Structures are given as C-alpha cells and as structure tokens.
Amino acid sequence: MTTVTGARHGVAFWLQLGFTLLVCMLLVAPMLLSLLAGVTENYLVGIESGLTTRWIAEVLRGYSDTILLSLQVALACLAATLVLGVPVAYVLARRGNWLTRLFEELLTMPIAVPGLATALALIITYGGVGEFRRSWLFILVGHVLFTLPFMVRSVLAVMSAVDLRTLEEGAASLGAGFARRFFTIVLPNSLPGILSGSLMVVTLSIGEFNLTWLLHTPLTKTLPVGLADSYASLRIEIGSAYTLIFFVMVIPLLLLLQALARFGQPPR
C-alpha cells in the first residue's frame, strides 16, 4: 500500500496521525497518572508534596502473599497447559477430522463463556469438596480452563506452518519411534509457538480476575483480588502503588511477546 516516507504527506495523513496520537494518549495517560500517584506523597496535593517509595513498601508489606500466590498459580498453570495443551495441538495439527474440530471448538468455549459463569458452575459442582474448595488448586483449575485455548492456538499455529508430516516421515523412515520424533523433531520445531503460548498463559493468569473473584477464599487471594480490595478500601496512592507493581510484572512479558511475534515474522 502507500508506503510513503519523507515529506510528501497529505492533510489526511496528519489528521489520522493526530487522531491516533489522541487515542494513544487516552490509553497511556491514566497509566502514567497511576504510576505517578503510586510514588507521590499525597496525590490530592500533587507532585509538590514530594516523591516517596513508602506506598510501594506498604503494599509489599501487606500484600506480598497475593503477589507470590499469583506467581505460583501462573507457573503451575503454565506447567498444566504445556502438559495438556501441546499434545492436543499436535493431534489437531496432524489429524483434521470432525471430531478433532469439535474438540477444538469446545476447548475455546471458556473464552466465550464469561468467567463469572464458569466460576459459578465450578462452585456449584465442587464447592462442597471443602478441602479442594479452600485450596489454591481451585483457582488453578479455573485459570487452566481459561488459558488452555490460548496455548493450543499458539502452538497449533506454528505446527501448522512447519511441514511436520514430511519431517516426521523422514525420521520414521530412519527408524525413529514416536517418543523420539516427538521430543527431537516436533517440540524443537514448535518452539516459537510454545514460547509465545507460555508468555500468553503466564500473563493472562497473573491478571485473571473474572473467575478468580468467586473462586478465591480469604486465604487464597491473588494479585488482582488484592488489587480490587485496595481500590475499594484503601487510599488512591496505595492502589496506584499496587497497580505499579502489577505493571512491572506484566508489561515486560507483553513486550517479550511482541518482540517474539516480530521475530517470527518474515522480513518485509
């Protein structure tokens, strides 16, 4: 398309650029304000009141357990989606029939069905199993349901792009059994998909709230649950400092994901 670089831009270009910059400001301004509020002594007074790290320290003192639990759930969720999802993606890539397509369709349902409904269904079914209901595994189950389709999609996209069949037939003709082919050919060739799927799963799990709010108990609070608490009951500086910690955890993952996507693209 019109790949104009240099000075010959028309009015339409500048109008659209202005509009896009405006949209960008709308998105970024509250993030910056919240970062600022998290390190400001008194947000109502403004930056003149001085900069401080005491709000961050206060959050780390009061809420570090939520941060740790979120990391724990995210890593466990990653392990579960890898073990469950990569084999599924492999079967979907190699065998396309009505049954696998139906399963693929069903598997994406937890994205379409609101988290609140899924959480309610889980509570109705397993809420009576006290031990399970009270443990962090209850939250993990919800997160696995929600993130599994992202892992499968991401791995499947890469597996469909490389010619697994030819590679595997070559290896099989040289006498490699299934396990050997899977671990030395299928997995290495799918690595970009596994990597971006993993980043996606961890990022989504750390931020998941719709399911988690109903699934959590006072002893199993994740980071977003703690965030909701702090927004509702604590001063804006503490909520902001808490949000700042969340940004620091999540935005590097997102940037990595984007870099990976660019790296995987053919040069233009």
Of the ranges 49-57, 61-69, 115-123, 187-195, which one interacts with another protein (CB under 8 A)? 115-123
Contact 131, 217 (CB under 8 A): no
Q: How far is CA 185 from the centre of its chain?
A: 27
Q: Which of 60, 71, 82, 111 binds another protein (CB under 8 A)?
A: 111
The reply to whether 26 sits near another protein by the rule CB under 8 A is yes
Could you say whether residue 43 binds another protein (CB under 8 A)? yes
Among 65, 213, 234, 260, binds another protein (CB under 8 A): 213
Near another protein in 65-104, by CB under 8 A: 83-85, 87-88, 90-91, 94-95, 103
Determine, following the binding rule CB under 8 A, whether residue 179 of this chain makes contact with another protein: no
Site for another protein in 223-262 (CB under 8 A): 224, 227-228, 231-232, 236, 239, 243, 246, 250-251, 253-255, 258
DSSP letter assigned to residue 190: T
CB of residue 61 vs another protein: minimum separation in angstroms? 21
Residues 119-148 that bind another protein (CB under 8 A): 120-122, 124-126, 141, 144-145, 148
**Considering the rule CB under 8 A, would residue 183 count as an interface residue with another protein?**
no
Q: How far is CA 232 from CA 189, 244, 246, in A?
A: 47, 17, 17
Binding status of residue 45 toward another protein by CB under 8 A: no
For 31-62, give one letter per residue: b (16+ CB within 10 A) or e: eeebbebbbbeebeeeeeeeeeeebbebbeee
Minimum CB distance to another protein, residue 53 (Å): 20
Q: Where are the beta strands (DSSP E) in the chain?
A: none
Which token pair is 131? 């031990």
**Rounded distance, CA 91 to CA 122, Å?**
28
What's the CA gap between 190 and 172, in Å, rounded?
18
Of 193, 207, 215, 221, the one binding another protein by CB under 8 A: 207
Of 16-24, 49-57, 58-66, 187-195, which segment contacts another protein by CB under 8 A? 16-24
Q: Which residue is associated with the tokens 């990653």?
A: 78
